Amino acid sequence: MTAGWTDDRVGALKKLWLEGQSASQIAKQLGGGVTRNAVIGKVHRLGLSGRAAPSQPARTATSFRTTRPRPAAPAATPAQAPQASAPRRLEAVSSKPVPPTPPAAPIPDLPGTATVMTLGAHMCKWPIGDPSSREFSFCGRRASEGVYCVEHARVAYQPQVRRGAKESGSDLARSLRRYI
DNA sequence: CCCTGATTCGC
DNA sequence: GCGAATCAGG
């Protein structure tokens, strides 16, 4: 009788997951014989996949891949039909070279509504503040497609910052810093 | 080999 | 909805 994602178990899951805990860590803490697979599965079902952690890029093995082919797909059309399933998210590689890319930080100041408990599956999961802090919250606005609202998706999925240039302290750097 | 999350698919 | 098996990458 380990099954059953009770309300508080789900709450704990959300909290830990969005705190940055790994699935295995969460599974361990939840005890109850839940495996990391169970945790991950639940996380996905809750729509929390993708996890919001723009502050920690160099984390988790496959934090976010741009595409996932899915080779093991017997039956259907073995050859051709490369389309497969619809694209998930992250269109990092844009067709344009994006030379200047002056984001100018459109987003004003987020109200920061929605907490780990109130955060729904289709709410923007852009983290506001320190996850450990009690005042931690999420944007909570309608998540257009991924886990973020359109505005946050823009800054979250920013393909890449032109490095090498004297951007140390540029508006861009400062703009991005405002969101972490 | 350790770890990570992502996805699929039978239940 | 659930989660083991599997995949894919670091």
| pLDDT, one tens digit for every residue, chain A (180 residues) | 665 899 989 999 998 998 888 999 999 998 878 999 999 999 999 888 777 654 344 445 454 444 444 444 444 444 444 444 444 444 445 455 555 555 555 555 555 778 878 888 888 888 888 777 778 888 888 887 678 888 888 777 766 655 655 555 556 555 555 554
Q: pTM of this prediction?
A: 0.58
Per-residue confidence (pLDDT) for residue A129, from 0 to 100: 80
CA distances, A151 to each of A92, A112, A114, A165 (Å): 15, 14, 17, 25
Per-residue confidence (pLDDT) for residue A41, from 0 to 100: 94
Q: Please count the other Cβ atoms lying within 10 Å of the Cβ belonging to residue A1.
A: 5
State the nearest residue by CA to the C1' of C1.
A45
Looking only at the bridges linking them, the beta strands covering A137-138 and A127-128 are antiparallel
Per-residue confidence (pLDDT) for residue A67, from 0 to 100: 42
By CB atoms closer than 10 A (0-12, 13-18, 19+), residue A172 is buried
Element spanning A29, H or E: helix A23-30
Q: Residues 6 or more apart from A63 whose CB is under 8 A from it? A: A51, A53, A57
State the nearest residue by CA to the C1' of B3.
A61
State the nearest residue by CA to the C1' of C3.
A38
Taking the stretch 22-61 of protein chain A, residues with Cβ within 7 Å of any atom in nucleic acid chain B are 22-25, 36-37, 40-41, 43-44, 49-51, 60-61
Rg of chain A over Cα atoms, rounded to whole angstroms, equals 18
Q: Residues 6 or more apart from A149 whose CB is under 8 A from it? A: A124, A126, A139, A141, A142, A143
> In Å, what is the separation between the CA of A56 and the C1' of B2?
21
The answer to whether some atom of strand B lies closer than 7 Å to the beta carbon of A67 is no
Q: Which nucleotides of C are covered by protein (CB under 7 A)?
A: 1-10
Distance CA A115, CA A120 (A): 9
